[in-house]
């Protein structure tokens, strides 16, 4: 009996000497959601550039990266298929029951919509967990909303202002620019609803900016300040 007790306490003592394995907390991650014409890509790139300029020289071991197209590529890789075969999800298209059936019968690389959506969510989650990611669109705020080391930004602006910028950038008439903007905004809303049904979209964002009122440089500085306040950097 005494031997068993001694063995028990010896094991407890040895366990106390071994430091516990600490799992890294997910993040840090920044998500940027935007209405069409709000120049979210330019802002994301400027943020990554400025964050890396500030923090890599003073000891940060990881560089910040903008994640957008990589989500499609990584999801396709996870499913072992070509990105063209799952791109319809990002275009907010849905297969009819007949199309889905024919795909399942005729295509060796068939994947159900449910499986594709799940792969996309897993990929976004992986990028967020790994950290130092600026996730642009794709429902990033919704899928990472429970991560503590995260900041979720939404960019908005009046539709007429966005249309003027869009028509200049793509050399379109204002009527065509307005129609295109509305189409893209609707597709983005459909994508989020398709991927994250039941999630209250607006409550996922920490802050919303009217980009008509701020320059890209001002937004960069303000977002970095918020990231500092939330201890993401």
| End-to-end Cα separation, the chain, in angstroms | 55
CA proximity to 156, closest of 29, 30, 43? 43
Residue 82 gets which letter from DSSP? -
Q: Percent of the chain scored above 70 by pLDDT?
A: 79
H/E stretch holding 119: helix 113-130
**Averaged pLDDT score across all residues of the chain:** 83
How many CB atoms neighbour CB 30 within 10 A?
34
Identify the pLDDT of residue 99: 46
Confidence band of 97 (pLDDT split at 50, 70, 90): very low
Read off the pLDDT of each residue in 193-222 and give the average, rounded to a whole number: 86
CA proximity to 140, closest of 204, 187, 73? 204
Given a contact cutoff of 8 angstroms between Cβ atoms, the answer to whether 140 and 188 are in contact is no
Q: Is the pLDDT at 159 greater than 80, yes or no?
A: yes
Read off the pLDDT of each residue in 212-227 and give the average, rounded to a whole number: 96
Q: Is the pLDDT at 158 greater than 50, yes or no?
A: yes
Tens digits of per-residue pLDDT, 161-205? 999 999 999 999 999 999 999 999 998 888 887 777 566 667 789
Identify the pLDDT of residue 3: 55
Read off the pLDDT of each residue in 14-26 and give the average, rounded to a whole number: 60
CA proximity to 129, closest of 6, 8, 27, 14? 27
Residue 21 tokens read as 């394995």
| Rounded CA separation 213/110 (Å) | 46
Indicate left, alpha or beta for 132 from its phi (over 0: left) and psi (-120 to 50: alpha): left
Confidence band of 48 (pLDDT split at 50, 70, 90): very high
Read off the pLDDT of each residue in 92-102 and give the average, rounded to a whole number: 43
Read off the pLDDT of each residue in 147-167 and give the average, rounded to a whole number: 96
pTM: 0.78
């Amino acid at each position: 009996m005494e031997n068993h007790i001694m063995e028990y306490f010896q094991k407890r003592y040895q366990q106390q000497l071994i430091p516990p394995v600490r799992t890294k907390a997910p993040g840090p991650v920044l998500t940027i959601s935007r209405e069409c014409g709000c120049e979210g890509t330019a802002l994301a790139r400027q943020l990554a550039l400025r964050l890396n300029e500030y923090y890599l020289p003073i000891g940060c071991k990881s560089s910040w990266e903008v994640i957008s197209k990589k989500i499609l590529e990584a999801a396709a890789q996870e499913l072992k298929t070509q990105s063209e075969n799952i791109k319809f999800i990002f275009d907010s298209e849905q297969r009819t029951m007949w199309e889905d059936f024919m795909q399942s019968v005729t295509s060796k690389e068939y994947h159900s919509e449910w499986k594709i959506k799940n792969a996309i969510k897993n990929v976004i989650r992986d990028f967020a967990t790994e950290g130092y990611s600026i996730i642009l669109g794709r429902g990033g705020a919704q899928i990472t909303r429970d991560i503590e080391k995260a900041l979720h930004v939404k960019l908005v602006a009046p539709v007429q202002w966005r249309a003027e910028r869009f028509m200049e950038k793509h050399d379109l008439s204002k009527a065509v620019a307005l129609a295109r903007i509305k189409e893209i905004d609707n597709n983005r809303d459909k994508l989020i609803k398709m991927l994250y049904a039941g999630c209250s979209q607006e409550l996922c964002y920490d802050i919303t900016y009217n980009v008509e009122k701020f320059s890209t440089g001002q937004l960069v500085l303000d977002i970095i300040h918020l990231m500092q306040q939330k201890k993401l950097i």
